[in-house]
Structure 1
Amino acid sequence: MPTHYQAASEPSHFAQRFGIACDPEGSIVRPGEQGLFVRRPRADGVGQETPPERFQIAAGRWGLIPLFSKDGQDQLTHEARGETASAERNFYQPWKRGHRCVILADCLFQPGDTEDSIVRVSRADGEPLALAGLWNGWRSPAGQCVESFALLTLGAPEQSEQRRTVILRDAWIDDWLHCPVEETAAYLRPYADDKLVREALPVDA
């Protein structure tokens, strides 16, 4: 079962962290589905009806659509490897443009040690996870701007073949979104395990 997440459900989480007013659904989001992400405002002003604030919320497909895509149906772009994304064909354009984003999630579901299990990951203090991502705006053949995003991952310290979604420390969120491109990799670090709750669940749960 692929990684998926439960989107943050409390409007206060967006208001307190970003000063953004929104009414999130808090639904389960799977690869290929629509989700909310927070970024610094687009430099081209698309989607801005008022003077730009420091943060902007957008809705997009979880599965980044590269600029070179012909039909927007590219596969296997919902996760970007933090170690190599800056050089990968699907992700280097958003990386070098500083198109970073944050996805707030109440919890994250990742594959377990066996095929019939998953692991529910949440913060021990009950606050939402701040997941690090890249976003892109793709122009369809019909001229429509389609927003999309990918989650960044790192190899697990104990098992490098396993991937873990990058969770940002609260104090890093603003810097992650606004830092120079050359500082991007500095924020891609494992989150402290003692601040997380990992609960093994059967797949049918």
Structure 2
Amino acid sequence: MVRPGAQGTFIRRPRGDREAAAVGARFEAAQGRWGLIPLFSKEREVRGTFEARGETAASERNFYQPWKRGHRCVVLADALYRRADSEDTIVRVTRADGQPLAMAGLWNGWRAPDGECVESFALLTLPAVEAPAQRRVVFLREAWVDDWLHCPVEETAAYLRPYALDKLVRRTIVRDPGIPLPERQPAC
């Protein structure tokens, strides 16, 4: 299980300086911190960059550079765990057909003051159709994954659509008090 602030795996187009690009691969797996580090950041820890609002990411200070550079990624997971309305519960979201979730994201490479290149990513969200005050992670339909990674920047927003709720299973779980939940993030 990957928590915000921890290392996770994401899928992206191969970077031009990588072996995968040289052999003509369409995808490569990369390791990065969940919580995008903007190019202008002076520090590795940046609050509020675990999720980017899909409708405004192209103009938000923390996310516009990866957006305009086409640094899109996909995060695959068996389930997504979200805070529920109560502090004692979490919601586990899975696909109804049991297949992995393909979550749309942005990634970035940041140069630390010591010269280390740190890669990071954020998940894209949209307002929940049934409750506009809430946010939902953007799940990509299977046929869209390749297109999402390779489309021109000006076509990116077309893939940010709500996923059919009848194709998802949401299960509320009473959480184990011994396992801390991630900090609640302020709205972007």
TM-score by length of 2: 0.90
- Measure the CA separation in 2 of the matches of 1:134 and 1:173: 13
Q: What amino acid maps onto 2:9 in structure 1?
A: L
Query: Partner of 1:178 in structure 2?
Result: 150
Deviation at 1:51, TM superposition (A): 3.0
1:39 equivalent in structure 2: 12
Q: Distance in 2 between matches of 1:159 and 1:35?
A: 29
- Residue identity opposite 2:151 in structure 1: C
**Offset at 1:46?**
4.8
What percent identity do the matched residue pairs reach? 68
> What aligned pairs does 1:34-183 form with structure 2 within 5 A after superposition?
34-43=7-16, 45-46=17-18, 50-183=22-155
Number of residue pairs aligned between Structure 1 and Structure 2: 177
Task: Using the TM superposition, give the Cα deviation of residue 33 of structure 1 relative to its aligned residue in structure 2, in angstroms.
Answer: 0.2
Q: Does 1:199 align with 2:171?
A: yes
Aligned twin of 1:189? 161
Could you tell me how far apart the structure 2 residues matched to 1:134 and 1:39 are? 9
Alpha-carbon contact 2:15-2:21 (below 8 Å) kept: no
| Structure 1: stretches of 5+ with no match in the other structure | 1-27
2:3 maps to: 30
Mind listing any 5+ residue stretches in structure 2 that lack a counterpart? 178-188
* Aligned counterparts of 1:85 and 1:147: Cα–Cα separation in 2: 18
State the distance in 2 between where 1:58 and 1:173 align: 16
Q: Give the Cα–Cα distance (whole angstroms) in 2 for the partners of residues 174 and 49 of structure 1.
A: 15
One-letter identity of the residue aligned with 1:171 = A
Give the CA deviation at 1:35.
Answer: 0.2
User: Cα RMSD between the aligned structures?
Assistant: 1.5
When normalised by structure 1's length, the TM-score is 0.82
Q: Secondary structure at the match of 2:78?
A: strand
